[in-house]
Structures are given as C-alpha cells and as structure tokens.
C-alpha cells in the first residue's frame, strides 16, 4: 500500500516572497528537512498503528489490565484504521478507506460480496435461460419460512424442503445450501451447471434456482412424491405397514433398469461424461407409479474432484489410489442391485462376521449361482421371475468386480438387464 503525500504536505506553509533570497533558500532547506522528518514520523505512526492491533488482542487474552484508558483509545482507533488498510490491500480504494468508519467498512464488505455474486452469475449465465429464477421471498414463502415440517432430507452441505411455488402452487423440492460454508458457491455452480443440462426420464429435473447475497443459494427441483428406494427397502416404520412384503419384484426390476438407463445417459449421453459419485438408494426416488428417478448431483462432476461420496458404495480403487471414474458409478450401482436382490443393507453389524458386509457375503453366492440363499425372503413367488432374477444377478456380478479394468461399463450392464 502506498502512502499519500497529500495527507501531510498540504500543511506546510508557503514561503513569503518578501524574504531575502538567502533567507528564503535557508528556509526552504529547513522546511525540506522538516518535511523529511515529518514523513519519517508519519511512517513510524503508521507502523505503530498496524502493530497495535495484535498486542491489544494478546493483552485481552492474558487478562491483564494496565488501566491506561488513553492507550486503549489509541488501539481502538488503530483497529479501525487497520480494517481500512486490509480492505485497501484487497483492492479497495485507499483514499476512501483511510478515514473509513465502521459503516463504510461493512459497506465495502457488502460490495465485495456483490462482486463475487456477479462473478458467479457470469459463470452460470449460459444455462440459466432454461430455468426459472425465484426470489428469496418466493423461496421463504414456499417453505413456510423453512419450517421443520417441510424438511425432506439433509446432506453434508444442504437441507431439502418441500414447497409450493407460483400461482399454480406447483410442488417442488428446494435444496438450500449452507450459506456459512465457503464451498457452497462452488457446489451450487457445479450442480446447477450439470443438473440443468440433463434431460432423461429417469433423472429428477432441475426447475429453477435462487441467488440471494444475504441468504445464500437455492436449487429448485421437481418434487417426486413416492419417497426414496431406501425407505421402501430398509425402513419398515416409514412404510407404515406391519409385516409389509416391501417392494414387489416387478418394481425392483423396474428400478434396476431405469437407474441403469439414467447412469448410462450420464456416462455416454451428454456432451461430457458425468460421474454421479453418489449412487445409493437414498438418492433414488420413486414416483407415484413407482418410476425411479435419480437425484442429488451435489457430488457429480465431469472431472475427478476430491469430495468423498458415501463410503459403503465406493469401489476398491478409490481406497487404493483415490481414483474416481465412470466405473466408480458402476460399482456403486452393483451394490444397489445386491440390495434389490437381497433386501439387505450394505453393512449389517448384527449379522455374523462373514455376513455383515453385503458384497463380501454375496460374491461367493453369485459365483456358485445359489439364488435361494441370495434372494430377499420377503419376495413372493420368485420362481415366476427367474429369468429377470438371473439377469440382475449377472449384472450385479459384472458391476462389483474388484478390478476396475475388468468391470463392465453401463452400456454393457443395460444390455444384460434388458437382454437385448
């Protein structure tokens, strides 16, 4: 940061023309010398002002009180001055912030926030023409001010609320990203860019979005009323039916084929391969007609990134090398197929030591073709669907291969499931 000479040179009085020439020269030399001294003094005061901030904090932390009100006032004044200096170093105008009061400092922070918002707006502008832009007032009204009764679920960086928007009172799912998390703007931008480009009958469509400088970022998706596959497979209480036989085989097979189609579309049906990275039953929703819909593209990416998906569905190469690819999705889908076949969770600690891990328990049974031990005992008359069951077990075997290079791609899995 540069010092402003005008802040102190203007106080020097001009030499009077009636002085004798030699006296005037002497006075000029003296004034120049005084000017240099003043400059040095100002620099010392400036450096002291910057240094005053940290010692003040240390005194407060140690609990000591010198009882010198005068020094305290000087440090408070210096603290306000330091705020202005830090802002100036960030790109603000030094001449405006040197004498900044707290209100102007806060205003500058707001301006910085607005600049970041504007930068994000430019990033997403190529895709927003196809989406509805909602105001924060609409989002708050739709969710009844984010009522707990409207919560559909939550993730690491977000909450999802059910809401009704616009005059048609259309039901939607509103994803609110954590405004306190510094990664939220990037996550919002990434998910909006990817989700807005996807058009597949087995993927939940993005309807719109909201950006508010104070309240944060929101993504608005079409609402899928049937609930998640996780609920139907593993949560009897939420199904609300005692001794419920869970999903019939016809629905399980429909889910397998539909989600395989959606993943195949992500990998090969878009301009760039999109890796979902979080394929699991809680991210598979069922419509009122039990049509499956893949959702939650918070971790999706067209390039490998460091975010960690749900560990129970991760392929071995991620643990060995940290590698993420389209075959990572294939492995996770294989685990979902095993859940559809067996009705079991990926990990069930109450089972025996050789049976608690679904993949490790199922692999020998798949190799031996022992279907009666593999199938969910709640399924009614499975012998009527032996052909479809055989295809799903074959697909699951091809998906969960430990070696990535020997694991099938999604197009091959779709062929196995559809038998085409």
Neighbour tally for 100: CB within 10 Å: 20
Which residue is listed with tokens 């001294």?
37
With CA atoms as reference, report the closest residue to 164 among 177, 150, 179. 150
Residue 322, judged by CB atoms within 10 A of its CB (0-12, 13-18, 19+), counts as: exposed
Contact 330, 399 (CB under 8 A): yes
Residue 299, judged by CB atoms within 10 A of its CB (0-12, 13-18, 19+), counts as: buried
Active site (annotated) includes residue 71: no
Encoded tokens for 364: 């020998």
Determine which one of 278, 296, 326, 329 is catalytic.
278
With CA atoms as reference, report the closest residue to 48 among 24, 75, 29. 75
Which residue is listed with tokens 């022992």?
370
Angle, nearest 10°, between helix axes 69-89 and 102-124?
20
Active-site residue set = 278
């Amino acid at each position: 940061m540069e010092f402003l000479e005008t802040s102190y040179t203007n106080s020097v009085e001009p030499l009077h023309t009636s002085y004798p020439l030699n006296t005037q020269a002497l006075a000029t030399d003296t004034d120049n010398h005084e000017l240099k001294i003043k400059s040095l003094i100002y620099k010392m005061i400036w450096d002291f002002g910057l240094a005053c901030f940290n010692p003040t904090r240390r005194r407060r932390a140690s609990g000591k009180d010198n009882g010198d009100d005068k020094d305290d006032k000087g440090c408070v004044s210096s603290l306000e001055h330091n705020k202005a200096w830090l802002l100036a170093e960030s790109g603000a105008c030094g001449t405006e912030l040197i004498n900044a009061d707290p209100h102007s400092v806060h205003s500058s922070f707001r301006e910085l926030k607005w600049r970041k918002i504007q930068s994000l707006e430019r990033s997403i502008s190529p895709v927003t023409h196809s989406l509805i832009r909602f105001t924060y007032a609409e989002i708050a009204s739709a969710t009844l001010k984010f009522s707990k009764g409207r919560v559909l679920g939550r993730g690491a960086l977000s909450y999802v609320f059910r809401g009704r928007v616009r005059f048609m009172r259309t039901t939607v799912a509103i994803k609110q990203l954590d405004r306190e998390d510094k990664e939220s703007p990037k996550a919002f931008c990434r998910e909006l860019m990817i989700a807005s480009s996807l058009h597949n009958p087995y993927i939940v469509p993005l309807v719109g979005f909201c950006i508010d400088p104070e309240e944060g970022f929101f993504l608005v998706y079409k609402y899928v009323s049937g609930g998640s596959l996780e609920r139907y497979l593993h949560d009897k209480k939420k199904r609300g039916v005692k001794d419920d036989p869970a999903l019939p085989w016809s629905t399980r097979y429909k889910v397998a084929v539909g989600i395989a189609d959606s993943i195949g579309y992500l990998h090969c049906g878009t301009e760039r391969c999109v890796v979902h990275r979080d394929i699991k039953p809680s991210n598979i929703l069922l419509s009122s007609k039990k049509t499956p819909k893949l959702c939650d593209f918070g971790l999706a990416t067209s390039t490998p990134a460091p975010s960690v998906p749900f560990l129970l569905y991760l392929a071995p190469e991620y643990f060995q090398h940290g590698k993420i690819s389209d075959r990572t999705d294939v492995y996770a889908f294989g685990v979902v197929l095993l859940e559809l076949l067996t009705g079991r969770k990926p990990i069930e600690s109450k089972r025996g030591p050789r049976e608690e891990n679904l993949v490790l328990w199922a692999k020998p049974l798949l190799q031996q073709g022992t279907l009666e031990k593999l199938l969910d005992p709640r399924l009614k008359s499975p012998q009527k669907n032996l052909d479809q069951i055989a295809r799903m077990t074959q697909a699951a075997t091809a998906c969960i291969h430990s070696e990535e290079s020997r694991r099938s791609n999604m197009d091959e899995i779709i062929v196995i499931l559809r038998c085409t």
